[in-house]
Structure 1
Amino acid sequence: MKQKGFLENIRKTFGDGSYEGDQFGGAGGHDGSGLPIANPSNFMFATGIECSYPTIQNGTVRRDQLRECGHYDRWQEDLGLVKEMGLNVLRYGLPYYSIHLGPGKFDWTFADLAMAEIKRLGIIPILDLMHFGVPDWVGDFQNPELPIHFAEYAEAVAKRYPWVRYYTPVNEIYVTARISGKDGVWNEQLKTDKGFVTALKHCVAASIMANQQIAKHRNDCVIVQSESAEYTHELCATPSFQTNLDNELRFLSLDLLYAHPPSATVAMYMMDNGLTREEYNWFMAGKPPGYQIMGNDYYGRNERIKLPDGSIKTSMDVLGWYEITKDYYERYRMPVMHTETNVFEADQAPIWLYKQWVSVLRMRRDGVPVLGFTWYSLIDQIDWDSQLSVVNNNVNACGLYDLNRKPRPVAEAYKSLLKEFGQITIVPYSEMLEITDQPARLKTQV
């Protein structure tokens, strides 16, 4: 009598062989599509609410984007739009300049309302504590007392909202220091190398001290350091010293933050412009506490071409987020998040979104741990085409929603992307790496 094969025996006992449980990570497991869920191992799809508040015109005008874009009046509606998008993660900045009224003095009126709603909706905030400006009583980024005042504020926030785990202490330190201390546009409006170095060291020190205070209350804090991913191409047979220096200085904030020794050229530049040896050694002592994520913000206008006559043109995506961020990753070997991107032309936004996402996928497939992606911002912005330098009230159509809170084409594009990739994990098989007690769900390697 012919003996039955193993498959016949399986089918006789288990039907088609797809035994119970195969839907959990086996042949019939889930491929990672569907809207994001709140599991800690999930890739962080996010948006942000633009919250810049630098001063211009010698400190007489405060550019508060939360006010100018209507968030103070429509905060409940805006937070509801985050959920409408299907997102669980939000880069959100409380207005430091109006909350911290003086040493030991705080006004939490607006913050308490917004944070209570964020908690009620189940949104995970990446709390942005300083975004291009400081309170009037602090002055500007040249004030050496900034780190201690800001540390007090950070600890007060951590104590008041103990359920918050994710923070960006100081947003875009390099950009803050350059535009305030070197380009002469914001805050102190200086145009000197010393002004730049001073602002930068104070901002990095403020970030470190704030991080320390947060970790005292949340030793599991996750710090997402959002920093601009920059590069300047020079179309000269012999690139200038200044361009080469600028392409090194773009790393300087992260070098000091992550205790990565800069080149000799940059170290001498800093010491020529006010950094002491003692300060340098303090920065090089080690990384701040908590789990550190290197966030890279990329806009096409971050990448520039310098012509032989010295003029600068926006190059839009010559290297792109992938190539530039790869430079940063190879320098620091830190987990990565794409923390900001947009374009000002609403009709071009969907294809720009897709291009950024292709870069993220490629980076992940090359083995770089990219943990999240952010379209910035939720709603349109005002006057960013002039870096907030003049009050033109020009609407930049870069939001998922316009200022009337109507969806732009990129909102639908982002929703489709979320439905396709929304349940992938931060790195492939991170469910296993986490040793979670939840059932296995995914079989995807995206």
Structure 2
Amino acid sequence: MAQKGFLDLIKKKFGDGNYDGDQFGGAGGHDGSGLPTNSPSNFMFATGIECSYPTIQKGKIRRDLLRECGHYDRFKEDLGLVKELGLNVLRYGLPYYSIHQAPGKFDWSFADEAMAEIKRLKITPILDLMHFGVPDWVGDFQNPELPIHFSEYAGAVAQRYPWVRFYTPVNEIYVTARLSAKEGVWNEQLKSDKGFVTALKHCAAASIMGNQQIAKYRNDCVIVQSESAEYTHELYAVPSPEVTMENELRFLSLDLLYAKPPCATVGMYLLDNGMTRQEFDWFMMGKPPGYQIMGNDYYGRNERIRLADGTIQISMDVLGWYEITKDYYQRYRMPVMHTETNVFEADQAPIWMNKQWISILRMRRDGVPVMGFTWYSLIDQLDWDTQLGELNNHVNECGLYDLNRKPRPVAETYKSLLKEFGQITVVPHAEIFELSDRPAQLKVQV
């Protein structure tokens, strides 16, 4: 009689698979499918509500997208759509420019209503505190008092809503400074290197000091710094100094936030355009407090190709989110979140979302801790084809829902992704390493 092998003996003793205990992470364990839960190890699937509020035409017009897209009147409906999608996380911006009416004076009327509804629905907000604009009485991003005023506001928000843990203090610092002070589209509408450096350093300092105030009242705060992931390609045999510098400056806001010394050329550029050595040393003292996540916003239009004749083409993901974000990750070695993406063509949105998700899966498989993904935004937007610089009321069909709150095809694509991947953990094996609610304390990475 032939001797039985170990597998025959196991099957005789324990059966043919589905063994007791397998459901606890073994062959019969959970595969990560199913709609997201509020587990502290859950990958953060999110959307956002567009909340930009810069001024244009030399301050004569305030572009408040919360108003223009109807959110003030329909905020309960909009927040309900977040839950309808199966999402628990929302990038949400309160209108700083209208809430902070003067030093020590705040109007919380809308904020209290909206935040109460968010809390009631058990949505986790990533609270956006400054989104491309400041109160009229502050002026613009050239005001050196901005970090002082903004830190007061950030502290007031943290005290008023102590249940909020996730924050983006200043959204897209690099874009804010570039469009306000280098390209002359918004706010101060300057077109100078000195104006750019001034706006950028004031925004970075405001973010740091606002972060300090948040941590004072919420010492386990999670800071999701949302910044544009950019790159310009050149079809030149010899790279031009201008584009080489541009591809270095894209890191500058995060360099200042995370105390990463920029290259020598950028360092000299800063000193040549108004940053003092004392200011630079202050930025290099160390990262802000709390648990820090590096958010990268990526749109296909973030990549550009400069042709040999000097003209610029929008390249639509030559490298894509994966390759560009990998540059940022290798520079800062911090947890990552894909914090914004969309396309303006509603029929192209489903495939664009799938491409972004494939990039995220590949990044995670390469060992990079990607914490979350955001389709931005929940509702269609207006006039982003002119970067809000022209008041045309042109609808950008980039939302999960249109302005009538009817779902676009991309909403179904997102629901499908959520059903398939909604319960994956923030990183593999994160059930062991859940997002801690202990006070943050580590100063350096080791």
Distance 1:435 1:99 in 2: 31
User: Which secondary structure does the structure 1 equivalent of 2:233 belong to?
Assistant: strand
Corresponding residue number in structure 2 for 1:441: none
1:117-145 deviation digits (Å, cap 9, x = unpaired): 10110100000000000000000000000
Q: 8 Å contact 2:41–2:433 — kept in the other structure?
A: no
SS of 1:119's equivalent in the other structure is: helix
Match of 2:229 in 1: 229
- Aligned to 2:162, the other structure's residue is in SS state coil
Equivalent residue, structure 1, for 2:289: 289
Question: Any idea what SS the aligned residue of 2:169 has?
Answer: strand
* Partner SS for 2:406: coil
Distance 1:267 1:154 in 2: 29
Which digits, 9 at most, give the CA deviation of each residue in 1:354-376, with x for residues without a partner?
A: 11111101111111111100000
Cα distance between partner residues in 2 of 1:261 and 1:224: 21
Q: CA shift at 1:14, angstroms?
A: 4.8
Shift of 1:433: 2.6
Alignment-derived partner of residue 217 in structure 2:
217
Instruction: Please name the residue that 2:443 is paired with.
Output: none
Deviates most, 260-269 or 233-242: 233-242
> SS of the counterpart of 2:74?
helix
Higher mean alpha-carbon deviation, 220-229 vs 8-17, is at 8-17
1:79 is matched with 79
Structure-1 residue corresponding to 2:424? 424
Amino acid of the structure 2 residue aligned with 1:229:
A
1:413 and 1:8 map into 2 onto residues whose CA distance is: 45
Amino acid at match of 1:250: R
Q: Is the 8 A contact 2:379 2:402 kept in 1?
A: yes
2:314 aligned with 1:314:
yes
Output the TM-score relative to the length of structure 2.
0.95
* 1:26-425 matches, cutoff 5 A: 26-425=26-425
Shift of 1:337: 0.3
Whole-angstrom distance in 2 between the partners of 1:370 and 1:11: 40
Contact 1:91 1:126 in 2 (8 A): yes
Distance 2:97 2:159 in 1: 19
AA at the equivalent of 1:223: I
Kindly provide the amino acid, as one letter, of the partner of residue 323 in structure 1. Answer: E
Deviation at 1:435, TM superposition (A): 9.9
Distance 2:16 2:431 in 1: 28
Give the secondary structure class of the aligned counterpart of 1:134.
coil
What secondary structure, in the 3-state scheme, does the structure 2 residue paired with 1:292 have?
strand
**Which residue is 1:440 aligned to?**
none
The structural deviation recorded for 1:156 is 0.2
Distance 1:106 1:31, change over 3 A: same
Residue-by-residue CA offset, 1:384-434 (whole Å, 9 max, x unaligned): 000000100000000000000000000000110111111100100110233
Question: 2:434 and 2:336 mapped to 1: Cα distance?
Answer: 18
CA distance in 1, matches of 2:301, 2:12: 64
Partners of 2:360 and 2:78 in 1: CA distance: 27
User: Shift of residue 302 of structure 1?
Assistant: 0.6
CA distance in 2, matches of 1:83, 1:61: 34
**1:58·1:187 contact (CA, 8 Å) conserved in 2?**
yes
Paired residues of 1:230 and 1:302 also in contact (CA < 8 A): yes
**Percent identical:** 82
Cα separation, 1, equivalents of 2:51 and 2:39: 27
Q: CA deviation at 1:197?
A: 0.1
Structure 1-normalised TM-score? 0.95
- Shift in Å at residue 102 of structure 1? 0.5
Provide the C-alpha distance between the structure 1 equivalents of 2:400 and 2:194, rounded to a whole number of angstroms. Answer: 39
Where does residue 444 of structure 2 map in the other structure? none
Q: Confirm or deny: 8 A CA contact 1:34 1:420 kept in the other structure.
A: yes
2:305 is paired with a residue whose SS is strand
Structure 1 residues 431-442: aligned runs within 5 Å: 431-434=431-434
Q: Which digits, 9 at most, give the CA deviation of each residue in 1:198-223, with x for residues without a partner?
A: 00000000000000000001111000
Q: Which runs of 5+ in 2 are unaligned?
A: 437-446
Partners of 1:4 and 1:299 in 2: CA distance: 60
Tell me by how many angstroms 1:309 deviates: 2.4
Measured on the aligned residues, the alpha-carbon RMSD in Å equals 1.6
CA shift, 1:167, in A, is 0.2
Q: Give the structure 2 partner of residue 442 of structure 1.
A: none
Report the Cα offset of residue 146 of structure 1. 0.2
Amino acid at match of 1:187: N
Distance in structure 2 (CA, Å) of the matches to 1:7 and 1:34 = 33
Cα distance in structure 1, aligned partners of 2:123 and 2:384: 27
Contact persistence 1:144–1:202 (CA under 8 A)? yes
State the Cα deviation string for residues 254-288 of structure 1 (Å, max 9, x = none). 00000000011000001000000000000000000
**Which aligned pairs between 1:13-28 and structure 2 lie closer than 5 A?**
14-16=14-16, 18-28=18-28
Q: Contact (CA 8 Å) 2:40, 2:435: kept in 1 or not?
A: no
CA contact (8 A) 1:177 1:200 kept: yes
Q: Deviations over 1:291-310 (max 9, x none)?
A: 00000000011100112222
C-alpha distance in 1, partners of 2:431/2:248?
Answer: 38
Opposite residue 363 of structure 1, the aligned amino acid is M
In the alignment of these two chains, the number of paired residues is 436
Larger displacement relative to structure 2 (231-240 or 276-285): 231-240
Give the SS at the match of 2:431.
helix
